[in-house]
Structure 1
Amino acid sequence: MQYILAIVFALLATPAAADPISIVIGAIGAAGSWLLSGTVLANIVLGGLLVAAKYALGTLFQSKPKSQASATETKYGENLVREVGLGTFGTRGHHVYRNAFDKGNHIVQDVYKLSDFRCTELLRVQMDGEWKLLSATDEGDEGRIYGRRVLGVHEGGQVFVRFYSGTLSQTADPALIAYANPTGRWTSAHRGAGICYVVVTTITDVDNLTSVPSLLFEVKGAPLYDPRKDSTVGGSGAHRWNDQSTWEYTSNPAVMMYNLERGIYHGTEKIVGRGVPASQLPLSEWMTAMNICDEAMADGSKRYTAALIASSGDGVTHDTNMTPLREACAASWVEGVIGEYPIVGANQAVVATITDDDIAWDKPFQLSLTRPRSELVNTVAATYISPDKFYETTSLATRVDDTALAQDRERLAAKIDYTAVTDPRVGDRLADIAIRASRYQAHGSYTIHPKYLGVQVGQWISWVSARYGFTKKLQIQSKALGALGSDGTRDVRISWQEVGDGIFDPTAYTTTPPVITPNAEPAYLAAVENFNAVPNIVLGATGDQLPGIRLYWDEITDGTVVGVDIQYWPVSDPTQIFSAYVTRDVTVYQIVNGLTSQTEWQIRTRLRAAPGTRPVAWTAPVNVLTLGIETNLPPIDFAKLDEDINGYLGWASDGLRYVLEELDRIGSIVANQDAANYSDKQQIRREITSTSGSLTAKFTEEIIAATGPGSAIAQRIESLEVAVEDDIATAVSNLTTQINTVDGRVDVVSSNVTALQATVAGKADASAVSLLSATVSEQGDMITSQGNAIIDLQSQVNGVSASATFRAQTVAAPSGWNSRIALQARVGTSDSYKNAGIYFDVTPTNSRIVVSADQFVVTDGANTVQPLIATGGVVYLTNVRLGTLKFDQLESNNGKLIMRGYGSYADIRIWT
């Protein structure tokens, strides 16, 4: 992991995958905002003739993934999402480099990335359970080398922090270059251009500081563009979108949302956000939202402030970042004809007053003065991110609406997590808004006259109703135009939700959360130690050589680790990833599956931690070049070829013995000593016998179904037998399925065996047997699959036998893959046999067809002269027509003419 930053800091961060564009339809929020589920200011979708804000009140207090203002665990590894800190946030950073030097390596340098975009200032660090300030400047000789001293660390302190804001022009840290151990691990190329990071230097064994501390950094985040401060777009000031040096720090959530909508870039490279054109973000609406957030409140706070670590990468959507910011300012979202913008939580002016005369009563009408009970809330327990508690999630004061509680006659509680709120005054304000808004219950829909064509979704209107005897403020949820009438006008159909000024009454509350003492950072194993990958050659089940890689590492003693994940892939095709897993007790693992010889592979590992303990990142991949292997088809090694052919002959001839052994193995299951291993056994047996003098005919059928600890079997055996004295004919059929699980190993077997036998005592016999079997075995992540098919015919008279065998086998196992077929005919006595056969053999590295016979003839069946005959080790060709012939040596049958063309020879020799 020490080398990860060598690449990251040499260049700008690698572009993350473009965030999916999130179109907010219906409820855009989760636990957090009264409006995010449609209690008051709903999410708004504008399009066509229908303008709708689909309410989903049932989701008001439900959680969904979202970003937050803190990262209280240090990140390790690579391929992590990009993060940009906004507002004042707390983070332990992404640890990317460690270096130790000086006597006994007692000076340790650590590099932590804080943000993938520049930040404004490092404020303080948390160490030893308390916030600690930094010296004002790089004081003293050590400070000039290592940076600002962390104050209050034992006597004098021996921890230093140097902060790099993340400008594109920043230079590499000189101390990291000077003290790199070994030299060259950090160079001037490692600038971290555009990346905000810190270098933490710890001098151990001094002043009782014996270990490297775990720090939490409080950071003022990214400077952002505020259109209100840009005089070229209607604001007042020097801000310019195309000049990031004019941007300033802000805690305004609406400004943060605006920058995320437009996207935060390094040049043309988007770091986080959507990248929406400015033309789709109407500035008047955005500036209104920003001004509301900055409004000064009586308790000394601004109305709405926020902090957020915005993310971009796999599994992160734009809404993941926007949701907590919308919650932090009680905002809904509008996507309309004029563009996209938030409506921040504040009282709105009533734009129209509707009476009963304005309603088309002949059109569909709906009115409900109460909500379903499932949508009522009278108690809210909210949380925020507390800087005083080291950016841990902290409880706010529980909000209880006593009047509502009395009306509901039971406590209806909900929990809200404000993950972008770091000011408890803002959190209390939002919780108060949520509980108040939930008590405005009236909702409905009706059609009004065309004079109200100008009302828009999200606006507040007033309904003065003499029919129902009330006056209510309504917020428009949806708007649709009716059909063109005979008078050439269109009615307007709206749906609405009751609202009121009391929702946003800014009352302050005292926050008294329980005192939280954070746990100290445990020392976890981050990766396997002393990992090595050594290429080797593995002998496969069929005798083939296979390329392999032997992995080994130190014993794992961390009790939170349950195993090790392994991934490897060819450098030429990184998408072809092979995976394996071993338990923590394994320290040596052999890779064979998928490997090819003389190929460069990359291998990486990741510790698999126990559920709920911690995430663990993949290690950086290591490169391994596999060894070359001897192929199964050596071009000139005929001794090896003879050896292989003999192996084929034996494998095919062994078919009958294999079938008989399989019959014995399966048949033994019905024996008592085997059946006793099953806790439950059900059996059906039928038998009939007919005898007449020396004649006997017998039929037997046995069906067994048995289960037991880790095993199950179903079997049917049928047997037919007729005999006249010593002359016997039998037919046996055995159909079996079986599963066994022992010590973590699983064997699944299905087989069908048929055996026919005819014997005339002392004179002759004949047999015909067949086998079909399928077997799969699993041991952890090691899986072996095997299929067999055998047909064997045997005839014997007076010591002379003839056989014909077909055998096929497929094997897929971690040790290698193999597919083999044999067709073999054999005749002879115990002293001498003649064989003829065709053998097919395929492995991951080779494929071969072998023909074994005294004579091998190729003919078209019509000509008397065969074009190819192989006999006695010599191949005869007649009537041959060649195109290009490449040869080493040609020699005439009488030895008088020799032509050579190999090595340094190129000559023709003629003897008279």
Structure 2
Amino acid sequence: MPLFTAIGTAVTAVSAWIGSLGTLGAFALKTAVGVGLSLAAQALAGKPKEQNFALNGELQGGGDLPRSFILGKYATAGSLVWANAWGKSGDTPNSWLTQVIALSDLPVKGLLEVWVDGEKVTYAPSGADSIFGYSVPEYVKRGPNLYIKFYDGTQTVADEALVTRAATAERPWEATRIGRGVAYVVVHARVIDNMFNGFPSFRFVVDGLKLYDPSRDSSVGGAGTQRYDDPATWGGDGDYLPAVQAYNLLRGLKYNGKWFYGLQNLSAARLPTADWIAQINKCRQTIMGASGLEPTYRSAGEIQIDAPLSSAIEALLSACQGRISEVGGVYRIHLGAPDLPSIGFTDGDILSTEEQEFTPFVGLADTINGISATYPSPKDNWAVVTAPPLYRSDLEALDGNRRLMADVPFDFVPYPEQVQRLMKSALEEARRFRRHTLVLPPRFWAYAVPGAIFVWNSERNGYIDKLMRIDGVVDRANLDVMIDITEVDPADYDWDSATDFQPPVDGAVGPIRVGPQTIVDWFASPDVVKDNNGVSRRPAIRLSWDGSDERIIDVIGVEFEVRNATSLEIVYSGRTDQPNVGSLLISQGLVANVTYGVRGRYIPRSERETLWSNWLNVTTPNVLITDVYIEELAQAGQDVGNRFKELQQEMDEFFRPRLVELLDAFSLEGAVGQIERQRIVASLGDALAQITEERRVRVSENEATAQFLRFLQSSLGTTNARLITEETTRATADTALSSQITQLTAETGSNAAAIQLEATARADADGALSSRITSLDAEVDGNLARLIQEETARADGDSANATSINGVSADFNGRFAQGLVKFEAVAAPEGVDARFSVLLRAGTSQSFKVSGFYVELYTEGGVQKSRMAVQADQFLVTSGNSRHYPMVFENGELKLAIANIGTVNAGLLQSLNGKMKIDLNNGTIEIFS
């Protein structure tokens, strides 16, 4: 019995001359039916296929490529339409590679998956994507490095990024290049270390054409709203069924009313809807598989329009063990298990005066007792794989202990279990050897059509309700009908997934990458900064990690970030280049009795990936502004020196870069929210002007957030001006936060100016905080001028603190000058403290000078004290009305030009020239001549 027998046009075409062959008619009919209709027989004989529909796994290029389209859910590498290198990343020119890749020359339903360099990546585009498309998260490293933008073929305008960004004078992309009717993707990939292995390769899983399904059309006997003359109503589960796909190819595919592929002008009457709907429903009927209920037959593939229609139909029929019959120009499809019999006959109905032929079995060359098959595997990057072979030792014993295999390609069946079901049913049916050629009287003429099922009860052959399928028909001149029939059995299509299905072994796909390294034994604990006498002066956090040699191979440092655990604002970040030490004490920007989150990661010498640790929460000790009791001048000098060192440390921290990144991603995952965006853009050549306003709201069981963003930009070549405003309110069960950030930037060449204004108000269960920061920057060729103002008010259950800081900084060719003025007031149960500090610093990074002073009130042992300290090479006091300075402190000496002193407590008085000395402690006076 042939495997996957197709009752094609050859059967009907030979009927005219078979009837005139007389006694040779039966032999000729058997010969005509058996020639070229068995895929398995062709495979056994080594006959090549007419057309190869294997998956297009490599990007195609060239102007002579045939157009193609996608049926069902199928993968393709597509064909290259256009490519260009453009843009600049840092000092790297042409750092972006943009490719336009066509996927289907007819519109499709969507793009389901993206595979990059053999690895399936995340693809979840949204309306908030940039003009470049969706940023693939697996390829985010120091910013986005891979964008995917998909067009389904219904687009009416050209891609904005191609027209305004990626195109160059040498490789233009005009606004008229819309690609109407063509489904395509635009891929932007950035050159970056250890990101791509050469040019990236892609495979795209496409949800193919929307098709007309007569079983969903109530006007032709189906059930639904689809109408053949209204393509807008097409599409549904029938798009994935081989019977629906074959029906559309026979009716002919069109685009915009013009023929594209398939038959032309075939009327609906030549595809009887009742017959086709019955077979479509057989495909749709569910069957229990390993992963649950699934349609009995599905198919998917890519068809090039230079492929003969007969080859495309044959590939679809192989997905459902189907056959196409044509009688009088009418096409019917027969698939899967045999249908119910249309009529029956017995031995007495056969015309005994006519010739008869009986074949109880086929020759060894046509015998099959095992099947192997290939199919595209979605889990293996859609590579063509081999299904588990089906061997039958019982059949091999019947065939003289020979293994007779058929190798069948299922190019259109990317479903592993369906492939094995087809293999099993095909092998069972192939063992139905019994075949008869006989003549029936005219009353059977109406039922004798190819593909029909008869019931035969034959005492001569021992048949009881034997089902037979008509494979060939010849009409006699006297209305007798000669038929060629083959035994069939519905049991051949029985399937038990639990016992029959062999799960395929999926191979590992994708690039082999070294896994990212995590930092080992990361820990954070509260600590303090102490002075030389062991007195706690500032709150701190001690970071620690495993610094052993085997842990830090290829590690040159450890970087860390510190954030406020409530507001999640990053308050400090840094690094150490001594990873082997295994710990680091940090205090910059930390406030007493506040909970911070700390995370860290290794800094590798190479470009390999490392991962941040989890955030660890730690609360700083409650160390406030205090000082030690002054007993001697030496101790006072040490305290003053330490305070000026702290002021310098504060100046270092205060002048860190202030510009922050705005317009962060706003996640609605796990929450109910809404984003409204309004945007206007105008561009011409290198000129671009745009205004974007975005309103965002989000609520969940634990949080409510509202945000308003405004973005204005004008750019012309390297000249760029931007204004960004971000306003945020946020409320949780124990925290309320309001913030406003305004950022103005102007850039032309290497010259830049920036202003940033930040205001924050936050209240939570532990306290309240208000802050305002103003930052002004001006830069020309690396020479930078900066002015910063920062005001903070903080209160909690243990203390209240108010701080005001003003700073200026100028840097020119490596020479700098800085000034810092700070007011601070603290009230706590231990006492109250206030300090006014001024610090100046100027010079170069190798050599600089520091000067300043501070005045403070502080509490020591419950006693209120005050102090003023000055650091200067020369300290002078003047009334302003005299050219004399009555008091000067210089080079370690105090000089008085005029003194009016009441009581003097001293040990030794002597003249400047040494002529007189009064020793008050010993009671002596010495005068020298």
What is the TM-score of this pair, normalised by structure 2? 0.49
Which structure has the larger Rg over C-alpha atoms? 2
The higher-RCO structure (CA 8 Å, 6+ apart) is 1
